[in-house]
Amino acid sequence: MKASYLKEEHDILRNSIKRFLEKEAYPYFQEWEEKQMIPRSFWKKMGEQGFLCPWLDEKYGGYEADFGYSVVINEELEKVGTGLIGIGLHNDIVVPYLYHYGTEAQKNKWLAKCASGDIITAIAMTEPGAGSDLASIRTSAQLSDDNYLVNGEKTFITNGIHADLIVIVCKTDSKISPPYRGISLLVVERDTGGFSRGKQLNKLGLHSQDTAELIFQDAKVPRDNLLGKPGEGFYYLMDQLQQECLIVAIGGISASERMLEITVNYVKQRKAFGQSIASFQNTQFTLAELQTEVEIGRTFLDRTIEAHMNGEDVVQEVSMAKWWITELVKKVAAACMHLHGGYGYMEEYEIARRYRDAPVTAIYAGSNEIMKSIIAKKMGLH
C-alpha cells in the first residue's frame, strides 16, 4: 500500500535518485566498504543533483521540499547500503539544528554549503564515558573573552573524518543543578586550533561510514559559534529527537524490505534435495512471517511519518517505531542469512554485509532501552 503522504513529485524524485545511485553509488559501494570511506566527490554529486537538504529555504540553497523528500532519499540510500547513513544524518539530523537554532549570520555562512556538499556535518554527543546519559557528559566549554575554550573527547562520531562543521554537546556551566541545564551546543569548524581527530574507528559493520574520535584541547571556538542560547542545549536535543529516531526507523524498514527481496530471489534459485529452497514449508513460513512483520512495521511507520509531517508530537510513536523496527532488522538479517546457507556467510553476498550492519541501529540515536524509557514515561509510568 502506498503511503498517502507520497505524491507524484515524490515518485519523480524516487526515479531520479534511483538512476543517480545506479550510476554513482551501486557500482562503487563495495570499493567504498573496502576503503572504509565514501569519497567527498560523491557528496558533491549529491549536492549538485539537489539531494542534500532539499527541505531548506531557497535562499539557503534548498527547494523547500517536505519531509516526504527526506523519506524517499533515505530509503533509496539505504537500499545501496547502511554505510550511507552519514548522508541522512547530515540532511535530516545535523543541518536542522543549524536551521532551527542558528542566527541569520550563521545560516548565511553555512547552510548553502551544506546543501551543495561543500560542507559535511556531524554531531558529537557520545563520549568515552557517556553515551545515552547526556547529563553525564564531561566536555566543557569555558567562556574566555570572545572564545569558548573547549576541552574533552567525543567518540563514535558519524562523519567524524569528513566533517567540516561539528555540532558538539558540551557543558558551559558545570555547577548548575540539575546538570542538564548546563548543556549547550557549539559549532566547531574544521580548522579550529586545539581541535584534532583521533583514529578512524574500525567497526564491525558500516565499513564505508567514517566514524572517528574527536579531541579538544583548549580548542578556541568563537563565541559567535554558540548555537541558540547557553544552557538550552538539552532542550534542543530533545526537540530534535523525534526526527532523529524517525530517520533511523526509515532506514531500518527499508533495510528489512531489501533483505527480504534478495532472500526471496535467492531461495527461488537455490536448490536442495532436487527442489528449490522456496518450495520447503519452513522457508515459506519463515519468509511469510517476516513479510507480515515488515508490512506491519511499514504501516505504523508511514502513519507516524504523516503525523510528523503534520507537525504533531509523536515522540511516543517514533520511539516505538525506532525500537521495534531496529529489533526487527536484526531478526530479518539473522533469518535471511540463515536461509542463504553457507553462502550467507560469504562476503560476496550482500546479506553478509546486511547482517553486520543491522545490530548498531538498535544502539545509535538513543539505545532501544532509552526508547522504552521514553514510552514508559509517556504512559505515566515514572
In b/e form, how buried is each residue of 195-226, taking b as 16+ CB within 10 angstroms?
Answer: bebeeebeeebbbbbbbbbbbbeebbbeeebb
Q: Could you give the residue numbers annotated as active site?
A: 244
Q: Are strands 121-124 and 165-171 parallel, antiparallel or unpaired?
A: parallel
Q: Which three cell numbers stand for residue 144?
A: 574566555
- Best CA proximity match to 183, nearest among 225, 222, 227: 227
Is residue 109 a contact partner of residue 198, using CB atoms and an 8 Å limit?
A: no
Classify 255 as helix, strand or coil.
Answer: helix
- Cα dihedral across residues 368, 370, 376, 379: positive or negative: negative
> Grid coordinates representing 115?
546543501
Contact residues for 239 (Cβ-Cβ < 8 A; gap 6+): 100
Q: Report the candidate in 196, 179, 185 with the shortest Cα–Cα distance to residue 106.
A: 185
Residues in the chain: 382
